[in-house]
Amino acid sequence: MGENEVNQDVIDRFGAVQARLTELWKSMRTFSSDEQTIVVVPSMTLDKVEDVGSMMQPYEERFLFLLLLLRQPRARLVYVTSQTILPSIIDYYLDLLPGVIPSHARPRLFTVAVHDSTSRPLSQKILERPRVIDKIRSLIPDPVRAHLIPYNTTELERDLAVALGIPMYGADPKFFPLGTKSGCRRIFSEEGVRHPIGFEDLYSSDQVVTAIAKMRADKPRIREVLVKLNEGVAGEGNGVIDLRGLPEPGGAEELKQIDARLFDLKLEDTSTDPETYFRKLEARGGIVEERIAGEEFRSPSVQLRVTPLGELEILSTHDQVLGGESGQTYLGCRFPADESYAASITREAAKVGARLAREGVIGRFALDFVVVRNEDGWDPYAIEINLRKGGTTHPFLTLQFLTDGTYDPESGVFTAPSGRSKCFVASDHLANPHYRGLLPDDLFDIVVTNGLHFDQSRQTGVVFHMMSGLTEHGSIGLTAVGDDHEEAEAIYNRAVEVLDREALAASTP
C-alpha cells in the first residue's frame, strides 16, 4: 500500500471505532453500573514544555485528577506516563476520593510507564513500542466499553486510538486547522464574534509588513501589534512589535521602517531570535493583529464541550493569570471569571461553540478573550480557540469531581450540593529554588502538619499537582478552593507562604 492508502486506511479505521462513542456516552452519562475502561494518555504533542524530558513527567502527571473517576464503582482506569509515578503520589489522589474506599479503587487502577525520558510526545513513544500497546490492550477487558482520553488530539493520538481499537474522546485531528491562529480569526469573522483587527494566513515577513501597513491605514493610532505563529501555544509563538514613532500611514518610508521594526520583535519565547522566528512563520504560517490595551485589561477564557451526541455545553469561565516576557504566557487562573463580563464572553463563546458543533467537533475546548474596561463596562475581544484541554481543565474538573457541584453560565456561579458557592485559584508554575530540597514525601508531611489538605467536610483547601517537578525543577502546581474569591486567594497565599518557609528551612544546614 502507498502512503496515501495507508493514511486513508487509518482514517477509515478511526471512523469505525469513533462510531462506538455515541452509545458509550449515553451509558456513561446515566452513571450506568456497567463496567468501563478509561485509558488516559496525557501526551503533550503540541505544547512546548521545555527541551528537557524531565519536565515532561510533571506535565503528564498534571491529569492525575482523573483518578477521581474511580469513584464510579465499575470503572477501570489505565494511566500511561513516560516514567513511573511514585506510589505516594498515587496514594495522595486516591485518598481524595469522596465516598470511596481507596482499597476498592486501587485494584481498578493500572499504571503503565514506557521508561523513556526524552522530550518526544508520549503518544509517539507508545506507538514505537508494540509490546506497550499490547500491554495496554490486555488491560481493557471489553474494547466496546472503553475510550481514550488524550491531552490533545493530533494524528499521533488518532493512530494510538486505532492501534488500541478504542474511540478517542477529543476532536478529530482533521479539525486541527480550525484551532490555528488563522483558523480562529476566520471563524470569529464568519460567526460575527468581535476580535482584534488584523490579517491571517501570512507566510513571510514581507506579508507581515504589508499587513501592518494596511492596519495602520485603517487605524492610524494603533500602537502595538502581535505576530503569532499558527501553531503556537501558551503564548510561546507570540511576538510584540512597537509601532510608535513610525512615519504617517502611506508615507514613503513607512514600509522600510516597519520592516526594520520586525527585527526588534519582542518575543515571548526568549530562547529564540527574530530571524529564527520568521523562518518558522514561513514554514507554519501565522497572523498579525492589534494588541488590545487599556488602563484596565484582563484575559478571561470560556470552557465548553460538544458531547458525542452533538450537544453544546458551557462548562466554566476563568480569569487567566499571565506573565512572561510580554505578559502572554499562561501561569494560572482564577475561577469563576468576574461576573461583570462573564455573561458577555459566554454569549460570544457560544456562537463559536455552535459552529464547532455543526462542523462535527467533539470534546473539550476553550476560547480565550481579552476585555478592556470602558465608560459603559467591558469590551470583549476573542483572540484564540484551543481545540484541546488546557491549563484551566484540570483545576475545574478537580473541583467538580470533589464537590459534585455545577456551574451556571447565566449567573457565572459554581454551586456545590450543600448550597455553597465555590471558587478557586490555581497555578501550574509555583516555583522556588528551595523547593528542590523537598521530595514529594516531604511535601505530604508539610501538608499534614500545616493543615493544607483538602477538607472534605467544608469542601475547601488545597489540591497539589505536578509534584514530581519539585526535586529537579523546584516547581509545583496547586489548586486552592474556597467559598468565595477572597477565601480561595487567602488559602492559596497561605499555601505558598508555608511551602516557601518549609523549603527554606529544609535547605538550611
Residues 206-247 have pLDDT tens digits of 999 999 999 999 999 999 999 999 987 655 688 999 999 999
> Average pLDDT in the 345-359 region?
96
* 19 DSSP assignment: T
Tell me how far apart the alpha carbons of residues 223 and 149 are, in angstroms, rounded to a whole number.
43
Instruction: Let me know: does 9 contact 48? Beta carbons within 8 Å.
Output: no
DSSP letter string over 397-449? Answer: HHHHHHH--EEETTTTEEE-TTS-B-EEEEEEEEE-GGGGG--HHHHHHHHHH
The DSSP element (H or E) to which 381 belongs, if any, is strand 377-386
Backbone φ and ψ of 364, nearest 5°: -85, 145
Q: Distances from the Cα of 227 to the Cαs of 114, 203, 290, in angstroms?
A: 38, 11, 9
Q: How many CB atoms lie within 10 A of CB 374?
A: 11
Tell me how far apart the alpha carbons of residues 9 and 251 are, in angstroms, rounded to a whole number.
56
Tell me how far apart the alpha carbons of residues 325 and 267 are, in angstroms, rounded to a whole number.
7
Check pLDDT > 50 for residue 3.
yes
pLDDT-based confidence at 375, cuts 50/70/90? confident
The predicted pLDDT at position 325 comes to 59
Check pLDDT > 60 for residue 2.
no
Check pLDDT > 80 for residue 476.
yes
What are the percentages of helix, strand and coil residues in the chain, rounded to 5? 40, 25, 35
Backbone φ and ψ of 299, nearest 5°: -130, 80
Cell numbers describing residue 466? 505536578
Check pLDDT > 80 for residue 400.
yes
Nearest CA to 345 out of 391, 296, 293, 409 is that of 409
Q: Dump pLDDT digits (tens) for 25-75.
A: 888 766 556 789 999 999 886 544 444 556 788 999 999 999 999 998 999
